[in-house]
Amino acid sequence: MHSVLPEIEKVCSLLVQKKMIFRKDDQVGIVLFGTKDTDNTLTREVGGYKHVVILRNTKVVDGDFVKALQKLPRGTTDGDFLDAIIVGMDMLIRKFGRTKKRDKRLCLITNAQCPIKEALEGTKEKQVTTITKKLTARGMKMESIVFRGKLSQKANKGVMEENDRLLNIFSKETSTRLLYVENPVSLFGALRTRNINLVTVFRGDLEFTPNLSIKVWVYKKSGREKSPIVKRYSDKAPPNYKRVTHEVKIDYGYKSSEDPDRVVPPDQRIKGYGPQIVPISSAEWDAVKFKPEKGVKLFGFTDSSNVYRHHYMKDAYVFLPERGNTRAMVAVSALARAMKEMDKVAILRCVWTKGLKKVTIGVLTPNLSEKEHIPDSFYFNVLPFAEDVREFQFPSFSNFPASRQPNGKQLKAAANLIKKLDLAPHGQQEVLLPDFTPNPVSERFYRYLELKSKNPDVAVPSVDDTLKKITELDTHLLLQNKSVINSFCRSFDLKGNPMKKCRRLLGGKRSSSNDEEVKENISAEPANLIENASVKVEKIEDLTPAQDFVALIFDKDSSDWVVKAINEMKSKIFDLVEDPHKGDNYPKALEYLLLLRKSCILEQKSKQFNGFLKHICYFCQEKSLHSFCQYIASKDLTLISTTEAVDSDVTDEEARSFFVKPEPIVE
């Protein structure tokens, strides 16, 4: 246990630091067991309880507690956690009496590897049952955190099994947590540094029909942890005033525009709307407000496969049957098990409180309990409305040519790499469990806050070594799987893509040597297009068509603007080809064609470009404008092939041979 005491010191001192911020009136006591000395009240009064020390009696948290927890004494004997629990109970009873009014909690941190003394009367199990009854009678709760880590050869498995059995009795009889952690990271997350009381967001009927409903209570299952807010502090009050809060309050005053010195009282104020400030009375505001009725109603059932996990939004909720209502428990259990058996989920409409303007639509998923004393329940997740869902269409990998498809050896190497670097390997415990992984940003913030309270000029501390295991790459894991990583690298021959285009190419900012080798005869593109793209453009003008085209492509989020830009650029090119001015317009038409070609590759509109280029060539043949086709063929302008864009249906050979005419056969 000595090897993990530094981590226990960190997490316990952090617990007290947070209490000094969020629950500064909380009272805390510290009991150590397995120590060389003995110092507790029960030993002095009744005897026994050896090697148990009260390090700090119960009192309001302060900086002394933090100092005491940052340097805990090391023990030399086996520790009996039952003696420590009884001493802790005695401390709370002496301090707060036998009342249930206060929230009293015991937190036991142990490795549970030391033997427990035999009971004076009865068995150890009966002794633990007696203790749990006294805990419940006095309104005390207890959670146990067992830190095992890697077991040594000296560890007695029989003793550990017995201790686990005793701790399970505590957990079952008092309905409290029993957690097993194997590393310092899990220890940081296991000890709840902030105790958040559960509050129902809804109590009422889960309505299926006007004549059928179930009484339920709804709690938040998870919530987003917000970063602490540093409030303003006022030092204007005299230091000897004890009841001063030192808070800064802001009041707003409204003055008349006609008489700036007159303050308008609240009953004479009225809201305005629009630039003309149209006055709207409170009665009119109330008339147009949406006022849904409070309640939870069923829309219907659907297959679970119809609701996608990535559509879940915001926080999760849990639906429980009304406490003490047996009929509600039976009804919820029957419904949950039927939905689970049929693989169904329910769609609900929820208005949590009266007067709430927002209606929540979500999915109800059954959650079957594995413990006898915990009833079945439901999980509820908020779903987006159709307007909130963004559908991104991506081409399938199967559209790539065979030469760009991975072979069996490469797929096997990639699968092996993923398997070895997986943080949740099959058959093993996940490395970073969500319930036991702390937020490294907030943990570092509280550490810095504690240091700054002592020295205002202190620098921001470095990330703790334990937290680095969350934020940084595990070098041991990489070294352990070095052969797998090398095998993956050898399976792939990495080389530059000569046909790769990036958006900045449109601005002439970058040029690829491979592009020049492939199409060295293509003229340079217009420069400074990206800089001009920041100007708001609604259509392509005659003065700066290239810049306007780029602005339409990149400034608009909607795909409709992309289609509009492509169609308008087609019209500009077609006008230049139709009126060539003895070939003077050909270079400009080629410049626009190159710009259109690259944009269609980026926006996955290759079929539109290929169709347009074919249309121009057919038009030139009909109007005897063969010189334009010969001109663009001499510049190596081709159709967009499948090598350049996955959405194209033109092969490389078809793209290269598009402008090549068959030689006439001479008889």
pLDDT tens-place string over residues 57-114: 888 888 888 888 888 888 888 888 898 999 999 898 888 876 666 678 888 988 888 8
Q: Is the pLDDT of residue 216 over 90?
A: yes
Neighbour tally for 192: CB within 10 Å: 14
pLDDT score, position 496:
64
DSSP label of 228? P
CATH architecture of 503-656: Alpha Horseshoe (1.25)
Identify the band that residue 1 occupies on the pLDDT scale cut at 50, 70 and 90.
low
pLDDT tens-place string over residues 242-269: 777 778 888 888 888 788 888 888 877 7
Boundaries of CATH 3.40.50.410 in the chain? 2-190
Q: Which residue has the higher pLDDT, 516 or 384?
A: 384
With H, G, I as helix, E, B as strand and everything else as coil, classify residue 241.
Answer: coil
Task: Determine the Cα–Cα distance for residues 538 and 545; give it in Å rounded to an integer.
Answer: 12
Identify the band that residue 319 occupies on the pLDDT scale cut at 50, 70 and 90.
very high
pLDDT tens-place string over residues 582-603: 667 888 888 888 888 888 887 7
pLDDT tens-place string over residues 373-384: 788 999 999 999
Q: Which residue has the higher pLDDT, 97 or 322?
A: 322
Q: Is the pLDDT of residue 514 over 60?
A: no
Q: Is the pLDDT of residue 543 over 80?
A: no
Q: Is the pLDDT of residue 427 over 80?
A: no
Task: Determine the Cα–Cα distance for residues 456 and 589; give it in Å rounded to an integer.
Answer: 67
Provide mean pLDDT across the span 111-132: 86
Which of 481-485, 625-629, 644-648 is modeled with the greatest confidence? 481-485
If phi > 0 it is left, if psi is from -120 to 50 it is alpha, else beta; for residue 450 that is alpha
Assess contact for 613 and 569: CB atoms under 8 A.
no
Task: Determine the Cα–Cα distance for residues 88 and 86; give it in Å rounded to an integer.
Answer: 5
Task: Determine the Cα–Cα distance for residues 284 and 273; give it in Å rounded to an integer.
Answer: 12
Amino acid in position 261: D
What is the CA angle 245-248-253, rounded to 5?
135
pLDDT score, position 153:
61
Assess contact for 261 and 268: CB atoms under 8 A.
no
With H, G, I as helix, E, B as strand and everything else as coil, classify residue 392.
Answer: coil
Q: Is the pLDDT of residue 328 over 80?
A: yes
pTM above 0.95, yes or no: no
Strands (E), 182-259: 200-209, 212-220
Here the tokens at position 466 are: 């334990």
What is the CA angle 322-328-334, rounded to 5?
135
Provide mean pLDDT across the span 601-611: 84
Identify the band that residue 187 occupies on the pLDDT scale cut at 50, 70 and 90.
confident
pLDDT score, position 99:
67
CATH class of 397-491: mainly alpha
Task: Determine the Cα–Cα distance for residues 594 and 583; give it in Å rounded to an integer.
Answer: 18
Boundaries of CATH 1.10.1600.10 in the chain? 397-491
346 DSSP β-pair partners: 301, 364
Q: Is the pLDDT of residue 524 over 50?
A: no
Provide mean pLDDT across the span 124-130: 88
pLDDT score, position 532:
43
Dihedral (Cα; 184, 190, 192, 196), 10-degree rounding: 150
Q: Is the pLDDT of residue 498 over 60?
A: no
* Dihedral sign from CA coordinates of 189, 193, 196, 197: positive
Assess contact for 605 and 562: CB atoms under 8 A.
yes
Q: Is the pLDDT of residue 528 over 50?
A: no
Task: Determine the Cα–Cα distance for residues 545 and 568; give it in Å rounded to an integer.
Answer: 9
DSSP label of 554? H
pLDDT score, position 179:
86
Provide mean pLDDT across the span 601-617: 85
Angle between helices 124-137 and 157-174 (to 10 degrees): 30
The CATH T-level fold of domain 2-190 is Rossmann fold (3.40.50)
Percent of the chain with pLDDT over 70: 87
Q: Is the pLDDT of residue 529 over 60?
A: no
* DSSP code per residue over 14-32: HHHHHHHHH-TT-EEEEEE
The residue count of the chain comes to: 667
Boundaries of CATH 1.25.40 in the chain? 503-656
Identify the band that residue 341 occupies on the pLDDT scale cut at 50, 70 and 90.
very high
Task: Determine the Cα–Cα distance for residues 377 and 136; give it in Å rounded to an integer.
Answer: 25
Provide mean pLDDT across the span 453-464: 86
* Dihedral sign from CA coordinates of 182, 187, 189, 191: positive
Assess contact for 50 and 43: CB atoms under 8 A.
yes
564-597 b/e with 16+ CB inside 10 Å = b? Answer: bbbebbbebbeebbeebeeeebbeebbbbbbbbb
Assess contact for 303 and 346: CB atoms under 8 A.
no
Assess contact for 132 and 166: CB atoms under 8 A.
no
Task: Determine the Cα–Cα distance for residues 616 and 595; give it in Å rounded to an integer.
Answer: 16
Q: Is the pLDDT of residue 518 over 60?
A: no
Assess contact for 165 and 124: CB atoms under 8 A.
no
Q: Which of 329, 301, 372 is nearest to 215 (CA)?
A: 329
pLDDT tens-place string over residues 278-305: 777 778 877 888 888 899 999 999 999 9
DSSP label of 230? P
Q: Is the pLDDT of residue 127 over 50?
A: yes
Q: Which residue has the higher pLDDT, 28 or 647?
A: 28
Identify the band that residue 206 occupies on the pLDDT scale cut at 50, 70 and 90.
very high
pLDDT tens-place string over residues 383-410: 998 888 877 777 777 777 777 788 889 9
Task: Determine the Cα–Cα distance for residues 501 and 604; give it in Å rounded to an integer.
Answer: 12
Provide mean pLDDT across the span 631-646: 83
Average confidence score pLDDT of the chain: 80
Question: CA neighbours within 13 Å on the CB side: how many for 183?
Answer: 15
Rg (CA), the chain: 36
